[in-house]
Chain A
Amino acid sequence: DGGITQSPKYLFRKEGQNVTLSCEQNLNHDAMYWYRQDPGQGLRLIYYSQIVNDFQKGDIAEGYSVSREKKESFPLTVTSAQKNPTAFYLCASRRGAEGNTEAFFGQGTRLTVV
């Protein structure tokens, strides 16, 4: 069935290591998004992509990188430059970037860096 899948649900990494979070959608959506959520806080936009091979920085892009080589995939790499990477990461997609389309979210990846 159609949807947006994030994997893994829980991820543990040692400090100083890069880690890549997976986000896949089979909804044929053009736009995809990555958010970070800290305990008790709202969602903050990291990167977004309106179309394949194109992406833009969100509000907190420092220490993160993305790629959009395929329409259905938008992986997020948390680099060692990210000062405080432990957080809940959410991926979303929309049919298009226009304003009258709703976003669909994955179930999130909880990253813990020790």
Chain B
Amino acid sequence: DAKTTQPTSMDCAEGRAANLPCNHSTISGNEYVYWYRQIHSQGPQYIIHGLKNNETNEMASLIITEDRKSSTLILPHATLRDTAVYYCIANPFGGEGTSYGKLTFGQGTILTVHP
């Protein structure tokens, strides 16, 4: 799996957009970018994923650069309940190999939304 790098922490004002960056400069062509979040003492929750194109769902938007070396998760109108640790991971599409099926997480970004 490609290594991902995220800032340790970020702050955002309630109601504003939260933009969380992720660097995955070693990502390979068959690796999807996934975002999860973990609210304190709970299991992580899937947010969104993408391969090349930008994606949007009811929770967030994912912007992937054209060279796929970085991406940004956007929470358009952050609320206090969005305070959590956000994980960006790269996951192989498939095929054989030592990392096939392996799903590894980094340290994530602690997002704090304040009133």
Contacts and interface: CB of A to CB of B under 8 A. Distances in A.
Residue among A103, A105, A110 having the largest count of chain B Cβ atoms under 10 Å: A103
Given A50-B101, A99-B32, A42 B43 contact: no
A74 interface: no
Given A31-B101, A48-B102, A99 B93 contact: yes
A33 B34 CA distance: 16
User: From DSSP, what is the main secondary structure of chain B's interface residues?
Assistant: loop
A97 to B, nearest CB: 3
A97 B102 CA distance: 8
Interface string B39-50: 001111110010
B43 A105 contact: yes
A11 to B, nearest CB: 15
B112 interface: no
B93 A100 contact: yes
Interface of B: 30-32, 34, 36, 41-46, 49, 51, 85, 87, 91-94, 100-108
Contacts of A90: 43-44
Interface residues of A, number: 29
Interface string A65-79: 000000000000000
A110 B43 CA distance: 12
Contact of A102 (B34, B41, B100): B34
Nearest to B33: A99
A94 B51 contact: no
A99 B43 contact: no
A108 B107 contact: no
Contacts of A102: 34, 46, 49
Contact of A59 (B32, B34, B45, B104): B104
Nearest to B101: A97
A110 to B, nearest CB: 8
29 contacts: A31-B101, A33-B103, A35-B105, A41-B107, A42-B85, A42-B107, A42-B108, A43-B44, A43-B87, A45-B104, A90-B43, A90-B44, A92-B43, A97-B100, A98-B94, A99-B32, A100-B49, A100-B51, A100-B93, A102-B49, A103-B44, A103-B103, A104-B46, A105-B45, A106-B43, A107-B43, A108-B41, A108-B42, A108-B43
